Amino acid sequence: MEERIWTIPYRGGALILGRRTLVMGILNVTPDSFSDGGKWLDPGAAEARAWEMVEEGADIIDIGGESTRPGHSPVPAEEELRRVLPVIRRLVQGGLPVPISVDTMKARVAEACLDAGAHIINDVWGLQRDPEMARVAARYQAPVVAMHNQEGTAYRDLLGDITAFFRRSLAIAAEAGLPPELVILDPGIGFGKTATQNLDLLRDLRHFTALGRPLLVGTSRKSTIGKVLGGLPPEERLEGTAATVAIAIANGAEIVRVHDVRAMVRVARMTDAIVRPGRGGWREE
Query: 40 and 29 in contact (C-beta within 8 Å)?
Result: yes
For residues 67 and 29, give the distance between their C-alpha atoms in angstroms, rounded to a whole number.
9
Backbone angles phi, psi at 117, to 5 degrees: 120, 0
The residues annotated as belonging to the active site are 222, 257
For residues 13 and 262, give the distance between their C-alpha atoms in angstroms, rounded to a whole number.
24
Q: Which helix (H) or strand (E) holds 264?
A: helix 261-275
Coil, helix or strand for 98?
coil
Backbone angles phi, psi at 61, to 5 degrees: -110, 125
34 to 218, 221, 235, 247: CA distances (angstroms): 14, 9, 10, 23
